[in-house]
Amino acid sequence: MSAVAKPRSEPAAGEVIVKTEGLAKYFDVSPPWLNRVLEGKPRTILHAVDDVSFEIRRGETLSLVGESGCGKSTVARVLVGLYAPTKGRVEFFGRDLSEMNTAAGRGLRQKLQMIFQDPYASLNPRWRVAEIIAEPLRAHGLMTDKAQIERRVDELLGLVRLSPADKVKYPHQFSGGQRQRISIARALATNPAFLVCDEPTSALDVSVQAQVLNLMKDLQRDLGLTYLFISHNLAVVHHISDRVGVMYLGRIVELAPKRALFAAPRHPYTRMLLDAIPDLDMTGRARTPVAGEVPNPLNPPSGCTFHPRCPHADERCKRETPVLKFHARSGADVQVACHAVAEGRIG
């Protein structure tokens, strides 16, 4: 691996490079003002993300999982600056993420990149691959010499296991997996330290998913990258993650190392997600079916938002919102937001 491919500024081993505290993002989805006045209706606020806190250390992959609409993609968009947080704080290398929008924060922006979900929509169909990959280099003023840019594009294509000859082609000439490799090459152009990956394999076939995931793991090892990985596919999460955060209606309900979460899930919602995986090993583990669907996020239940679907819910669950915290019986690195776990009603 050449020195050019290495991140320019690597944090020390174990250093927290991304930190969120009480992160919240609300959207005003109210009808037009005149409609509200005539119909006598108040504003309608969607709490897409509410009080989310976590840390990501150098070289680590934190995955966020949950059903559609749980807020995991909104968290990803807030972290890269596509959405401004309504409340809370996001720190990147110890600096507030809002600094990315200033002239002094341009160097911070270079260290943070995103890989989008749909490789068919995230690439400009009118541009050749060389222009797509070189765009971040020109936008950040990292390179101006044409020969230097061409060499860098060739190097990036090699990193994602494509041929330098592919740079003259257009996106429609590639398969879905190859397009996602081009997206990864574009994200790596500025030598980032942190990549936000918003379901980067969900639009791909299973065999292609494995190739892209293995590529991402190899790049993480070789370049010292740190990932926030968004997915609803638990098999993918198990393959790539170091830690996993489970989200439900805008909140993290369980945050744990991968092995601990898959071996002994604590929160009832986490158990429901894992129970949806076929028991191919015939372990005979008892499964508790959970009925119902995700509530309307515009009118969420009081207290613990999972209580209408939870077989362990009691009156406290209906009144009081649980806080994500460590519990003595859950393990040193496991955080759970559940009254039943805190009270020992769940073994």
**Residue 35 half-sphere exposure, CB side, CA atoms within 13 Å?**
6
- Using a pLDDT cut of 90, give the percent of the chain over it: 59
Residue 286 placed within a domain: yes
Residue 10 has pLDDT above 60, yes or no: no
Name the domain count of the chain. 1
Residue 328 placed within a domain: yes
Residue 150 placed within a domain: no
Instruction: Supply the pLDDT for residue 329.
Output: 66
Q: What's 301's DSSP letter?
A: P
Residue 274 placed within a domain: yes
DSSP 135-181: HHHHHTTS---HHHHHHHHHHHHHHTT--GGGGGS-GGGS-HHHHHH
Amino acid at 212: V
Instruction: Supply the pLDDT for residue 287.
Output: 63
pLDDT digits (tens, 9 = 90+) for 248-298: 999 999 999 999 999 889 999 998 888 877 665 656 666 655 567 788 888
Residue 299 placed within a domain: yes
Nearest 10 degrees: Cα torsion 306, 308, 314, 319: 70
Instruction: Supply the pLDDT for residue 27.
Output: 95
Residue 107 placed within a domain: no
pLDDT digits (tens, 9 = 90+) for 105-146: 777 888 999 998 888 888 999 999 999 999 999 988 888 889
34: pLDDT confidence band, cut at 50, 70 and 90?
A: confident
Residue 11 placed within a domain: no
The parent domain of residue 303 ranges over 270-347
Most confident range (mean pLDDT) of 4-8, 144-148, 154-158, 230-234 is 154-158
pTM of the model: 0.87
Structural contact between residues 183 and 122, judged by C-beta atoms closer than 8 angstroms: yes
Residue 178 placed within a domain: no
